[in-house]
């Protein structure tokens, strides 16, 4: 697609429409525990509970072809990227954390991922991964868990940790939320279930949210960025689907957006993770994909 075509129209901030709901969420959050605060963080961008998407669903939605309903056959990155999304979701929701840094294990990639809370999240994929993490002793690193959950390990004893049919299960979640539909397509020798886009509004909102984060709402400080949006940008890049969000931009905006993404990729993850209020799991996942 020519980047000079289909310039995405900017829409005004919906602060007037969402102000009342945000105020109610702020009042109720004072009576919630830390996990519930993490669960609800930044969901105010969504119109309703039914259209709230997890990081995994957002990355998959970016990777799916709108009409064909499947990801590119040449994309071999999205599988591990989705597993990274799962670990970040668990970190944001307060279910897992990194072990404390010690003399022998100071780096993000060498520290083990530990269970913080085994409270179910309500998401089948997240709870399945959480169960594996809970049952594993001694704990493993973030890098190891990405490999185990995606089945990319040479250790046959670890293959039981693989999360199977992740893309199909996420697509079915999006079908239930009314974002996708289900069809059968014939590919010469076999039939394949596909999931074309049925609600273009949700995907357009997602694309615009990403574009705004690196253009009109750019803050030039990762610590001030919304954790979910920061994670979405990193994991979409790691999954080789971020280009799909930027392709409708004109050439000038595209260059600005990509330059700012490169600035994020070039950050010192160890230094960022050491800052106040930083979520170490998020930065450990970033480090695992960029080392």
Is the residue at 12 inside a domain? no
Is the residue at 4 inside a domain? no
Coil/strand/helix, residue 280? helix
* Positions of the chain with pLDDT under 70: 1-51, 103, 187-188, 291
Q: Give the DSSP per-residue string, 32-70.
A: S-HHHHHHHTTGGGSSSGGG---HHHHHHHHHB-TTT-S
Nearest to 40 by CA among 25, 61, 58: 25
What's the domain range around 204? 55-290
Is the residue at 30 inside a domain? no
> At 215, which CATH number?
1.10.3630.10
Is the residue at 89 inside a domain? yes
Please report the pLDDT score of residue 273 as a whole number.
Answer: 95
Please return the burial class of 21, using the count of CB atoms within 10 Å of its CB with bins 0-12, 13-18 and 19+: middle
Is the residue at 277 inside a domain? yes
Is the residue at 107 inside a domain? yes
Beta bridge partners of 194: 183
Please report the pLDDT score of residue 103 as a whole number.
Answer: 66
Rounded distance between C-alpha atoms, residue 213 and residue 13, angstroms: 13
Number of domains into which the chain is organized: 1
Paired tokens of 138: 């001694």
Rounded distance between C-alpha atoms, residue 273 and residue 36, angstroms: 22
Is the residue at 138 inside a domain? yes
Please report the pLDDT score of residue 164 as a whole number.
Answer: 92
Please report the pLDDT score of residue 153 as a whole number.
Answer: 81
| Residues listed for the chain | 291
pLDDT in tens, 271-290: 999 999 999 999 999 999 98
What pTM does this model have? 0.80
- Within 8 A by CB and 6+ apart from 125, the residues are 56, 86, 163, 166, 169, 170
Is the residue at 192 inside a domain? yes
pLDDT in tens, 27-62: 444 444 444 444 444 443 434 444 689 999 999 999
């Amino acid at each position: 697609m020519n980047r000079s075509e289909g310039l995405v129209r900017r829409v005004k901030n919906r602060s007037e429409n969402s102000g009342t709901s945000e105020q109610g969420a702020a009042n109720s959050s004072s009576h919630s525990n830390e996990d519930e605060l993490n669960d609800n963080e930044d969901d105010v961008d969504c119109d309703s509970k039914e259209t709230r998407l997890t990081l995994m669903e957002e990355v998959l939605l970016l990777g799916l072809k709108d009409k064909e309903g499947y990801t590119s056959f040449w994309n071999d990155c999205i599988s591990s990227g989705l597993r990274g999304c799962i670990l970040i979701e668990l970190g944001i929701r307060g279910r897992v954390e990194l072990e404390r840094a010690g003399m022998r294990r100071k780096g993000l990639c060498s520290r083990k991922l530990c269970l913080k809370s085994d409270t179910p999240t309500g998401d089948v994929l997240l709870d399945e991964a959480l169960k594996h993490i809970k049952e594993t002793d001694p704990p493993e690193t973030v890098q190891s868990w990405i490999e185990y959950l995606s089945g990319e390990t040479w250790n046959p004893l670890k293959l039981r940790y693989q999360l199977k049919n992740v893309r199909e299960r996420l697509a079915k979640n999006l079908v239930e939320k009314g974002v996708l539909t289900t069809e059968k397509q014939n590919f010469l020798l076999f039939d394949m279930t596909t999931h074309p886009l049925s609600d273009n509004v949700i995907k357009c909102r997602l694309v615009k949210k990403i574009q705004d984060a690196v253009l009109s709402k750019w803050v030039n400080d990762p610590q001030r960025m919304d954790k979910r949006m920061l994670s979405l940008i990193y994991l979409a890049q790691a999954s080789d689907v971020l280009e799909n969000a930027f392709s409708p931009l004109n050439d000038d905006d595209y260059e600005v957006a990509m330059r700012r993404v490169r600035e994020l990729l070039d950050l010192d993850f160890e230094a960022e993770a050491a800052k106040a209020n930083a979520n170490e799991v998020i930065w450990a996942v970033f480090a695992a994909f960029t080392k």
